Amino acid sequence: MSGQGKKRSELPKELLGFFEPVGGIKLDTELSLFSKFTPHFTFDYMMLEQILEHRWYKDLEALRKYLKTAVGYYWDSNVFRFSDIYGHEYSFSIYLGTGKKLDEDTVTIFSATGTHNLGTFLIEPSITKKLLKIAEEYTKGFCACSLCKSKMKIADIAGGYFGGRYCKRCWEEGYKGKESMKTIEARESYD
């Protein structure tokens, strides 16, 4: 029965992932309770299909808040991942449209830790298949340029700006009359 029937407030703080400050550093209450891990839910690809194609994703925000409270996680960052048939993990987040049209809701897929945005797509009947295809490509070492959408090797990424990753042309010269991403990145980062 160990571990059962206890309220969260009765558990030792260490068990919840909280650590006392070390080295005599005085922290305020909020920081001293700062969680030292990043929690996430990982759904397998079959569950992902249920979530996306049967519209269970409408409840994900409630689930995120539940996890946040349950483990004392401080941030509001995305906590949702899915795994493909090989067990590789990716992150995803949902953007709910206005609700007037069902097809306005979108899903964004990222690398596991959310550093590389692999694209945003309308949630439509075949969406899971599409996401799994992008995930498989990524694991094989390929992604799409975030600007021109052309397929490239991950090794050939010329530059990144937030979650976007760009091919050499878009990074150095721009695309369809747009400024080069290198110029944009330099201005936004150092101004």
The residue (of 81 and 165) whose beta carbon lies closer to Zn ion is 165
Q: Which region, left, alpha or beta, applies to residue 74 given φ > 0 means left and ψ of -120 to 50 means alpha?
A: alpha
E-state strands within the chain:
41-44, 80-83, 89-95, 106-111, 117-122, 142-144, 151-153, 159-161, 164-166
Phi, psi of 162 (to 5 degrees): 50, -130
The residue (of 115 and 150) whose beta carbon lies closer to Zn ion is 150
The residue (of 109 and 145) whose beta carbon lies closer to Zn ion is 145
Q: From the CB of 161, what's the least distance to Zn ion, in Å? A: 12
The residue (of 88 and 169) whose beta carbon lies closer to Zn ion is 169
Alpha-carbon gap, residue 75 to 35, rounded angstroms = 9
Q: From the CB of 184, what's the least distance to Zn ion, in Å? A: 13
Region of 13-21, 110-118, 123-131, 142-150 interacting with Zn ion (CB under 5 A): 142-150
Q: Is 47 in the site for Zn ion (CB under 5 A)?
A: no
- Count the residues of the shown chain that bind Zn ion, applying the rule CB under 5 A: 5
Q: From the CB of 139, what's the least distance to Zn ion, in Å? A: 21
- Range 158-187, binding Zn ion (CB under 5 A): 167, 170
Q: Is 148 in the site for Zn ion (CB under 5 A)?
A: yes
Q: Six-digit token pair at 145?
A: 């340029």
Alpha-carbon gap, residue 118 to 130, rounded angstroms = 12
How many DSSP H helices and E strands does the chain contain? 6, 9
- Range 64-123, binding Zn ion (CB under 5 A): none
Q: From the CB of 109, what's the least distance to Zn ion, in Å? A: 18
Q: From the CB of 127, what's the least distance to Zn ion, in Å? A: 24
| CA dist list (Å): 61 to 12, 69, 80 | 28, 13, 10
Q: From the CB of 166, what's the least distance to Zn ion, in Å? A: 6
What count of Cα atoms within 13 Å lies in the side-chain half-sphere of residue 171?
A: 13
Binding site for Zn ion (CB under 5 A): 145, 147-148, 167, 170
